[in-house]
Structure 1
Amino acid sequence: MSDSQLLVRRLAESFGAEKISTDPASLAATSHDTWPVSTKWARRGLHPHQADVVVRAVSEADVSAVLRIAEEYGAPVTTRALGSSVTGQPLPTLGGIVLDLSGLVGPHEVDEVDLTVTAPAGVNGGGLEDALNRAGWTTRFSPQSLYRSSVGGWLSTLATGQFSSKYGGVEDLVVGYRVVLAGGEAVELKASPRAAMGPDLRQVFLGSEGTLGVITRVTLKIFPLPAAEDVQTFLVPDVGAGLAIMREQAARGLRPSLLRLYDPTEARHAMADPGFEGTVLFVGTEGEAETVAAEMAVLTRIAAEFGATELGPEPVRAWLARRFDFSTVEKRLDTPGGFAETVEVAHTWRHIEALYTDVRKALEPLADEVLVHFSHVYPQGTSMYIILLGGVADDAAASERLTEIWATAMRVCLDHGAELSHHHGGGLARSPYSRRSLGSAHLVLRRLKHALDPDGLLNPGKLGL
């Protein structure tokens, strides 16, 4: 009997046939996520990263038991939940076990005094947000994948949402969580509301993509639904002026809920007008009515200082109504030879415009359309989101083109000293570039990995590990 057969038999004895699967359909399904490269593999019937067995956990005890058995058999474990990753995080590079957390669900708990919500890690983020809204609350965490992603996945990939300029990323919203370590031990990490007892250990597992432990339960901040909101669209002279507006408002300490700057190529899509010409800035503010009015007045004044003019609120409201729509990318990927990719990076105010210029120049020969927007703003800089759409002879050629796009984008970003990922994480797409990106800090990651997962069993092949 082979090692994998022995492993499967041991898991079957521990969990029962209803929680494990080795059938080809299940193994194939868990060998892909929504990374366009992986999507093209699936269309071609290729499964280069496939597990030996899938185990569906429905409790933290299940997770602990799987990790203990994995350690006993030296079997790799790759965690996945809803599979919405767009960079290959949940793909099992060395076979072994796929630990499916999509069944790790159940009721959430709202604390209206301390303003938190606690939920199992496999809970769908959109479902949680809808339930909170019905009760007058919100996490105000809103990635485009809100209805396709899990709350545990948000932490594991260090995700952020469309309102991050006001509310921050998941690192700003998480209060605490439970995580199971490689040996099966469960620990709780929290700070209520802040703690200075050594380093903030919550940060260790945020963005670790399941390479250091498995998150099982999450506590997030909640807020009352905003009492008022206002939005506006500005036509700005060019990308440089738009970036200057974004930087200036950050320097003055404003906290708008929405800031999205679209270059002329993506502005046509953002405005839903193929004939539109120009660069546009979407702005939104929310909170108490008096605060909203004051903040919008200052934002409008800053925009005017850099030559912007108002186009009205309707383009922003239309975008808000369709902001979870993935169909443009999905339809292109579902076409023979069609390809679509999204690459998001970040840089400082000093360097972001030069990065934009060089990335566009390098990628334009590789796609029919290169669309760029800037959508998450900080006092020191901003993210840059690149969408590429095109078509080639067949799906094999599309796979090659996607690989070339990643290599080109990462090379330019590394040459500029940019951050290689702003919110999609590393996964397989960025793993080859992780060590150069992190530099000497990668030593810290390697030592953490060795201390917490000495056998290297948790999600191998990611983050340059």
Structure 2
Amino acid sequence: MDQQVPREISRVFPKHRQDVLRWDGWGYKDSKFVYKNGAISFVGDRYPISGSRLDNFRDWITDMFNLDPALMNSAATPPTEFPKPLRNENFLTGLKEAGVEFSEDGMDRMMRCHGQTLTDIESLRKHKYKRLPDVVIWPNCHEQVVKTVEVAAFYNIALIPVGGNTSVSLASTTPLIYDRTIGCLDMTQMNRMLWLSEKNLTACFETGIAGQDIERELGKHGFMLGHEPDSYEFSTLGGWIATRASGMKKNRYGNIEDIVVRIKMVTGKGVLEKQCTAPRVSVGPDFNHVIFGSEGTLGVATEAVVKIRRIPDVIHYESLVFGSLETGVRFLREVAEKRLQPASIRLMDNTQFKCGVLLDPKGSFFTGFYEFVKRFYLTTICGFEIDRIAVATLLFEGDAKSVAYHEEQIIRIAKKYGGVGGGEKNGKKGYMLTFVVAYIRDFAWDLNIVGESFETSVAWDKCLLLCTNVRACIEREVAKREIRYFVVSTRVTQSYDDGACVYFYLLFKHLDVPEDSLKLFMEIEEIAREEILACGGTLSHHHGVGKLRSKWYPACVSEVGVGLYGAIKNELDPKNIFAAGNLVRPEDLKARL
């Protein structure tokens, strides 16, 4: 290794994260959409949209959902009373003797009992969480994790590793275990870069470090990681490994399994780790891939060696407008076939495109004229129907010459499919909008709109069929339930030689729904998931299985696959210390242990 680095504390997660982050939703306490004096705006100063007055967005909400933004739900109040923890005095004494910090404070426990599904958010806001961890544990190094696991195994404590609690699969939601003390192993204070090798282009991090802190630390030395999931501000390296994550710039930097070289994981029987760091080895099955996607059920990763890149000379955004989602997908397919994907390329359907436009601040006198000209150009000169167009946002990274040549080749392909340039500004806006989408979800809930996304991956020859059929399925199920005001949209994101990741979004007004709106949403999503699988889609591209999708897991990996997972679980964690309950349902797992 070339360089030891100072051990700095993470900027994102203090131990008492409620001091910085929202207790009842996504993101920072000081950043959110608000409705005041007839206007919607985004407060705070962390995002480009901050401080903007969003009148177009307000009018769209009013028209699309037939509601008055002034009729918002009253703000949820933090709880003041919490269920008493199930204490194990011997375990707590063991933590004290090992010098491991912990807390039984109710708010500390509640902040780590959930992920970011609608189910989680409703449980928090209505103070109806079914189970809180009994104690929050903050190890500060690998050795402390080893000691914590040893003590937990001795006293039959269930350990649930967490990072940023950004899961949307119920993976970090506290399991319903009532006969054992549950310790939440909060890894976020293990957030340091341990070393960096300029010669090998590798670095070693503790796994509790958040994505934005990784980039901040590497940036001091002229390097970057390039892994940017939508949650990258708050999700952690350990969480990415546990869920087999993917980021928006995977075309250039790879998915997490392409980035991570070596993992150190503490299991119920000791430490699992390869004994060398090399570009590739042929020594039987790669145990890294036992760890990727294990979702906290086999152990907890404590350190990881990752590949790094030098910060590129040029970072250039662009956008392209197509006549329809269909022509846009064909464009993506040819770009992938010729392996010309830029760092990021994503295709939004017409609904998402319009939502992006609506989040433009109300501008000057000339804004209306400019919009008229754009509409005239697209509909008259290009022959596009304004209600069918789809928009691709692109991000190029590299040296100036290669970026220019790369963009030229992609523009040439776009023209074959009738695509026209949408400009750098729109490309950047579309990319950055990703980081405020979850804030929109929470604001929508305040406005009596229930909404969420779910994703899959699918082969190219089934991509358009899946988009069409799943959208039709959702619309059909919404109509059956007599939901009048709703929005369904689609986005095609990460692309590969043989297929792509597809997102679906559903929002509907729940003031008019006589039944439990969250229950209705989950019913519709479940039926949509069945349609996704029937159309050749996967159970998940990068969100993982968690508890939310575990009922489909056996069909996806086969009964032999479930048996193999059970054998690995039995070998690494025979006492089921890591009892998160993800992937395989607890009742099914119990029969295999």
Q: TM-score by structure 2 length?
A: 0.73
Instruction: Give the CA deviation at 1:107.
Output: 4.0
Task: After superposition, give the CA deviation of every residue in 1:352-382 in whole Å (9 maximum; x if it has no partner).
Answer: 1111111111223547112210110000000
Q: Which residue is 1:349 aligned to?
A: 460
Give the equivalent residue in structure 1 for 2:60.
none
Matched, 1:391 2:503: no
* Residue 237 to residue 151, structure 1, CA distance change in 2 (3 Å): same
From the superposition, tell whether residues 23 and 232 of structure 1 become closer, same or farther in structure 2 (CA, over 3 Å): closer
- Counterpart residue number, 2:538: 419
Would you say the 8 A contact 1:141–1:162 is kept in 2?
yes
* Alpha-carbon distance, 1:302 to partner: 1.0
3-state SS of paired residue (1:219) = strand
Letter in 2 for 1:391: K
Greater Cα offset, 403-412 or 264-273: 264-273
Question: What is the rounded CA distance, in whole Å, between the counterparts of 1:160 and 1:133 in structure 2?
Answer: 21
Which residue number corresponds to residue 130 of structure 2?
Answer: 48
Alignment partner of 1:333 is 2:415: no
Specify which of 240, 244, 269 is matched with residue 154 of structure 1. Answer: 240
CA positional deviation for 1:273 = 6.8
Residue 460 (str. 1) matches residue 580 (str. 2): yes
Q: Report SS of the residue matched to 1:32.
A: coil
What residue number does 1:296 align with? Answer: 407
Q: Which residue in the other structure is 1:251 paired with?
A: 337
**For residues 192-271 of structure 1, what are the structure 2 equivalents within 5 Å?**
192-271=278-357
Aligned length: 461
Q: Go from structure 1 to structure 2 and tell me whether the alpha carbon gap of 1:273 and 1:88 turns closer, same or farther (over 3 Å shift).
A: closer
SS across alignment from 1:387: strand
Gaps in structure 2 of 5+ consecutive residues: 1-84, 361-374, 376-385, 479-484, 586-593
* C-alpha distance in 2 between matches for 1:98 and 1:396: 34
CA distance in 1, matches of 2:562, 2:328: 34
- Would you identify which runs of 4 or more consecutive aligned residues in structure 1 move more than 3 Å? 184-191, 270-277, 320-323, 393-396
2:223 to 122, 127, 137: 137
Cα deviation for residue 114 of structure 1 reads 0.6
SS of 1:408's partner is helix
The secondary structure found in structure 1 opposite 2:318 is strand
Whole-Å Cα distance in 2 between the matches of residues 168 and 5 of structure 1? 43
Q: Which moved more, 1:46-55 or 1:30-39?
A: 46-55
1:360 aligns with 2:471: yes
SS of aligned partner of 1:434: helix
Q: What is the letter of the counterpart of residue 545 of structure 2?
A: G
Match of 2:566 in 1: 446
The answer for the alignment partner of 1:127 in structure 2 is: 213
Q: Quote the sequence identity (%).
A: 25
Q: 2-side partners of 1:111 and 1:390: how far apart?
A: 50
SS of match in other structure, 1:429:
coil
Q: Distance in 1 between matches of 2:460 and 2:579?
A: 35
Preserved contact between residue 175 and residue 190 of structure 1 (Cα < 8 Å): no
Distance 1:271 1:438, change over 3 A: farther
Query: Structure 1 residues 272, 59: CA separation in 2 closer, same or farther (over 3 Å shift)?
Result: same
Please give the alpha-carbon distance, in whole angstroms, between the structure 2 residues aligned to 1:139 and 1:349.
28
Task: Return the offset for 1:431.
Answer: 1.6
Deviation at 1:231, TM superposition (A): 3.3
- 1:63 paired residue number: 145
Residue 126 of structure 1: how far off its partner (Å):
0.2
The amino acid of 1:170's aligned partner reads I
The 10-residue stretch of structure 1 (373-382 or 153-162) with the greater mean CA deviation from structure 2: 153-162
Structure 2 vs 1, CA of residues 202 and 230 (structure 1 numbering), >3 Å: closer, same or farther?
same
| Alpha-carbon shift at residue 122 of structure 1 (Å) | 0.9
How far residue 230 of structure 1 moved from its aligned partner, in angstroms, is 3.5
Contact 1:239–1:263 (Cα < 8 Å) also in 2: yes
Match of 1:400 in 2: 519
Match of 1:280 among 356, 368, 391: 391
Distance 1:400 1:268 in 2: 28
Counterpart check, 1:320 vs 2:320: no
Counterpart amino acid of residue 109 in structure 2: L
Contact 1:27 1:54 in 2 (8 A): yes
Superposed CA deviations along residues 263-298 of structure 1, whole A, max 9, x for unmatched, are 111111234479963111122322122221221111
1:309-358 deviation line (CA, Å, top 9, x unaligned): 222222102223443223211212345x4322120111000111111111
Q: Using the TM superposition, give the Cα deviation of residue 178 of structure 1 relative to its aligned residue in structure 2, in angstroms.
A: 0.9
Map of 2:30 onto structure 1: none
CA drift at 1:6: 6.4
